[in-house]
Structure formats: structure tokens, C-alpha cells
Amino acid sequence: MNDKSPKTGTQVIQSYLNTIDASPGVYRMLDEESRVLYVGKARNLKARVSSYARPTGHSGRISRMISETASMMFLTTKTETEALLLEQNLIKQLKPRYNVLLRDDKSFPNILVSRAHDFPQIKKHRGRKSEAGNYYGPFASAGAVNRTLNQLQKVFLLRNCSDATFESRTRPCLLYQIKRCAAPCVGYIDGPGYSRLVSDAERFLQGKSTNIQAKLAEEMQEASAALEFERAAALRDRIKALTQVQQAQGINPRGVSEADVIALYMDGGQACVQVFFIRANQNWGNHDYYPRTGSGAGAAEVLEAFVGQFYDNKQPPRTILLSDDIENKDLMEEALGGKAGRRVEILVPQRGEKAELIANAMRNARESLARKMAETATQSKLLKGLAEAFDLDGPPSRIEVYDNSHIQGTDAVGGMIVAGPEGFIKSQYRKFNIKDTELTPGDDFGMMKEVLTRRLKRLLKEDPDRTSGNWPDLLLIDGGAGQVSAVQQILTELGVEDVAMIGVAKGVDRDAGKEEFHRTGKPVKALRHNDPVLYFIQRMRDEAHRFAIGTHRAKRSKSVGASPLDDLPGVGASRKRALLSHFGSAKAVSRAGLSDLKTVEGISDKLAESIYDFFHEKG
């Protein structure tokens, strides 16, 4: 007997209407292979699902989605606000094809004025705000923070050295010589004087710079009248640096003290969102995003999804300025206000200074999308050329490039970079610390085998059906026939038979442009010296090499800077400094007797015994 009941479409959706009620909640639409097609939220689940059960009246995008729907899942919530938050979390987690998705969702850096020391340090900070001090941000990029810090040092002369460096100084560092620090480490400025500098710096970061400039100008006049020309010149330089900070920030709105300016521009099914950060009436940089538009969503849906996902792991400002209206503005304000613990206002300005900010952001979005589309078109041609040059089944959507780095086998690491239709995908880069202690130092074959084995085993475990988009279409290996043979052996052992692989070797003269390409069961191939595909492969190989070397250097630097004292239980930074100050070196601490350890300031008898046992049990 044949089952003629429909497997997908409106009738499948209709069948769920008797099992749901009018509660708010989140629904998922799945295809025949149980892959999530779409996640949505509803104030009334029954009403929303009923709308999908209608045979007509849908956009082309929604009609395609309905036709592919084979089953649905539902989660009810107490309020529609909860449903909105849950919807955005699920979208980021499941990445459904028909949803708008924010693909680049990194955190932003801040400036931290640390309060853990009598002479506060000013520095860049990214991540959880666990250190004591005052945080100012977000800034759109590390570059924006570094530029501001650089100018702040010229103006306010605050230290940026670590506490350990501060404590160990006996004479001022170079920053004092070039007038970037007041040298509190050697007593060239007292506590109250340094506190005034810190206070001025924080007032500037709060947008109160006008009074600071007036105060510095007054001090300069007094110094000049007192014939203290060197001091007057130093104050003049600080005023000049403060002016440069304000000029570098470009847009400094008078009537907008705290806001994120978010503008969307769409063209040809692609979207660019520009976000400008306005804090303390200052422009703290901008960042562009290229969200996936869910196979054709409109501007209101794209922008609403962007806002919901963007602030999922970020503190929203008091005001959000948008280029377009969103459907659930009141709901979004309530959700973001609950997250921030205060009122958050979403505006779509039509005139005045706020509208000018939006117009500027929109212009940036339009220009950024044009550049991105031009780059994507070029990248598509290169991927097509790569497929033709090496007889691939089609242009690869995901290329993984591997390289190793070490010095005579020490601090060995493997690096993987990823490239695709939109260029390098840096969020997908991975590093591998080589774990096999049996490897001969410098065994590149062995290291490559370990890296590829770990990578492919993880893919087989996490995504055996290859639905996540994380499986490579092409592997590029730095090496010749030997490397290709080693990797092919791994692919065969793991049953991965349909991933193409190319080994890139330097050739007989080891010159760029004379690369030889090795493939399993095929003759060695070379490309024309001026072939764009050759340049493309060289860029990918060089990027993998850069990433692997950078990872290796970071590991080596960490191991060089490591101290046996780092692992001592109950010994933090201040006690470590006390031990080093008393004994002179970590080695001397490890050899110290119990009675000597007990004489160190801040080390109790019990802790001294613990330190002594730590080193002597290890020995």
C-alpha cells in the first residue's frame, strides 16, 4: 500500500494546527532530512502557523521555504520578548538557510583605566570585564583603540607598562624620554599629580574635553609668564595632541552623546550593515558587516535580525539609530532594555544631526558593499579557474590550507586557514599544538599527518552528514609528493574519498612562480608564470605560512616567558614579585631553604612550606 500523504508543503504545516495554541513562542521548520530551514517567533503560534498553511499570498522566498518544509518543532514562552531573544539565539546556533544571519560576531575592544594599583595603568582590553577599573568603549577595532591610546599618552602621560615592569624600574623608560609618560615608576611625579592626570584622561573619555583644553591653555600661559619655557612647550604639545585626537575621530556630534548608528544598504540580494559607535559625543570608529540575507529577506527583516543578533553578546547603548524601520521596534526596545537594565531607545531619524549620522553611515555601507561585490566577483573567477586548472568537480566553496611551523622541532604547531567565495574566512582559522611526543624533531610528515587526522576525525564525529558547511571541498598542503602521499593515506584510512587534495611544492629552484603541484595518481603539474590562479594559490599558501609562523611565535614567546613560579599554588603576582625581589631569580627560589622562604614579606609559614614542598617533590 502506497502512502500518498504529502511529505512537504502547506498540508504538512496544516497538520500541526490542532497541536498548538495561541501561546507566544518559537517555531522551527525542517526539511525531509531534519535540517532546520527557518526559525521564527510569534506572539500567537497558532495564528502564525495558520498563515503558512495558506496556499497563496506568500513571497517567492517564503513559498520556497514552505514547499521544503517536512516537519515543525515548537517551544512556547511566557512572553513575546522571551520568544524574540530565544529566536535570535537559535538562529545563531542553528544557522538556518532562510534566516538572516550575522556571520561576523566578534567582541569589541575597550580602553581600561586600571584601578588595581596606586598609579593606574591605561591599556586596551578585550573580553570579560573582570579587572578592577573603569572601562570606556566599545571601539570599532584594535586600530581605533591604539590610535586613541597613542594620542592619550601624548596628552595625559599615563603609564601603559605592566605592574611588574613598573615595580622593577630604577630609571625612566623610553616613553618618558619621548614625552609619552610622566614616569611615576621612579618618582618623577607624585601620587596626587598623577591622579590629576588620570582624572583628566577619564574626563576626556567621558566627552568633557573642552574644559581640559582650557585648563591646559591656562597652565601654558602661566608657565610662559613665569619664563618656564620648557614646561610651556610640553603643555603646548599636549594641547596639540588633544586636538589631533578630536580631528582623527572625524565625526563628533554635539547632540548625540551615546548611540550606535546602524545603516543597511542592499543590492542584488546582498547586504552591508555599517555600525558607528558614538560615545561621549565622540566617534569611536565604525565596522562593516555582511549578513546572510536568508535567500531574499527584505530590509526590515534583515535589520531587525541584525540588531537582535548583534546585541546578543554586547551591551546596547541608550540610543540606537537605524536607517530603516523594523517590524517589532517596541518589542526590541523591551528586550534590549531588559538586557541593559535601563531604557534603550530605537529611532529612525528623518532630519537633523541624527539623520546626518545615518546618511554618513549609509554612504559607507553603499561604498563597502560595492567593494565587496567587486572582490567577490574576482574571487568567483579565481575559484572557477582553480577548478578548471586541476579538473575539480566544480569551483570549491571551502578551501582549507595547512602548514606547520617549528624551530628544530620545538614549539611545533600546525596552522589551518580557510578560503571561499568571499575570500579568507578568518573566523574559521585553526591552530593545532603538536601533541605526539614520539615524533622525531622536525618531522614535517608526521606533524601534517597528526594535524589532518585530528581535523578529519573531528569533522567525522561532529558532522558525519556534512550539513554544516564546514567540510572542505579542497585541501591545499604545503609540500610535494611525500606530503601528498602521507595525507592520502589518512584520507583512505578514514574513508574520506571525495575531498580533493593538492600539494604545493616550491620546485627545483625554490622560486615563487616555479611551484609544482602534486596530486594523487596524476603527473606533476605547473602553471604559467603569469597565471592568476598561480598568484591565488601563492596568496593562500603565504597566508597559511603567515598564520602558522605567528602561532608558533606566540607559543615560543609564551614558553620563553614562562616561569616555574607560575604554577605555585597560592602565589599571585604580588607574592611572585616579593619572591623574585628577595631571591633574585626563579631558580634561586626553587633552591631556597624553608627557613629562608619564611623570611620573605607576605609569605606565611604555611605558604613557605607549600612552596618548599612544590619544588622538592618535583625534584
Q: Using omega within 30 degrees of 0 as the cis cutoff, is the peptide bond preceding 421 cis?
A: no
Work out the average pLDDT over 565-593: 78
Per-residue model confidence as pLDDT tens digits over 414-465:
889 999 998 899 889 998 888 776 666 667 778 888 889 999 999 999 888 8
Q: Decide: residue 398, CB within 10 A, 0-12 exposed, 13-18 middle, 19+ buried.
A: middle
**523 SS3 class:** strand
Report residue 271's pLDDT band, with 50, 70 and 90 as the boundaries: very high
Ordered by start, the domain boundaries in the chain are 10-98, 110-248, 258-370, 399-559, 564-618
Q: What angle do CA 209, 352, 206 make, to 5 degrees?
A: 20
Give residue-wise pLDDT tens across range 291-349.
999 888 899 999 999 999 999 888 999 999 999 999 999 999 999 999 899 999 999 99
pTM over 0.95: no
Determine the CATH number of domain 10-98.
Answer: 3.40.1440.10
pLDDT band at 618 (very low <50, low <70, confident <90, very high): very low
What is the spatial distance between Cα 598 and Cα 606, in angstroms, rounded to a whole number? 9
More confident residue, 21 or 221: 21
d(CA 370, CA 360): 16
Nearest Cα to 200, choosing from 113, 278, 273? Answer: 113
What does the chain come to in residues? 619
Q: Give the Cα separation of 208 and 395 in Å (integer).
A: 55
Residue 1 has a pLDDT of 45
- Domain 564-618 adopts which CATH fold? DNA polymerase; domain 1 (1.10.150)
Look up cell 616555479; give the residue. 514
Write the pLDDT tens digit of every residue in 232-257. Answer: 777 777 777 666 655 555 556 778 88
**Rounded mean pLDDT of the chain?**
86
Are 479 and 444 in contact by the 8 Å Cβ rule? The answer is yes
- Spatial neighbors of 82 by CB under 8 A, at least 6 apart, are 24
- CA 446 from centroid of its chain's CA atoms: 31
Kindly write down the DSSP assignment for every residue of 12-53, as one continuous string. Answer: HHHTTGGG--S--EEEEEE-TT--EEEEEEESSHHHHHHHHH
Under CATH, what is the fold of the domain 399-559? Nucleotidyltransferase; domain 5 (3.30.420)
Dmax over CA atoms of the chain, in Å, equals 106
User: What would the mean pLDDT of 477-503 be, rounded to a whole number?
Assistant: 89
Q: How many CB atoms lie within 10 A of CB 231?
A: 15
C-beta of residue 207 within 8 angstroms of C-beta of residue 246 = no
Residues 603, 579: contact at Cβ < 8 Å?
yes
Helix 444-462 with 481-494: angle, nearest 10 deg: 30
What amino acid is encoded at 466 in this protein?
R
CATH number for the domain whose boundaries are 258-370: 3.30.420.10
Angle CA(76)–CA(316)–CA(302) in degrees, nearest 5?
Answer: 60
Selection from 435, 431, 447 nearest residue 486 by Cα: 447
> How many angstroms separate the Cα of 430 from the Cα of each of 4, 118, 415?
48, 40, 6
- Collapsed DSSP state (helix, strand, coil) of residue 472: coil
Take residue 409 and report the three cell numbers written for it: 622541532
Quick check: do 10-98 and 258-370 share a fold? Answer: no
CB 68 within 8 A of CB 76: no
The answer to whether residue 381 scores a pLDDT higher than 80 is yes
Distance, in Å, from the CA atom of 368 to the CA atom of 437, rounded to the nearest integer, reads 48
Q: What angle do CA 591, 592, 598 make, to 5 degrees?
A: 155
The answer to whether 390 and 525 have CB atoms below 8 angstroms apart is yes
How many alpha carbons fall within 13 Å on the CB side of residue 118? 10
| 230 pLDDT more than 80 | no
pLDDT tens digits, 41-97 = 999 999 999 999 998 889 999 999 999 999 999 999 999 999 999 999 999 989 999
Could you tell me the pLDDT band of residue 354, with boundaries at 50, 70 and 90?
Answer: very high
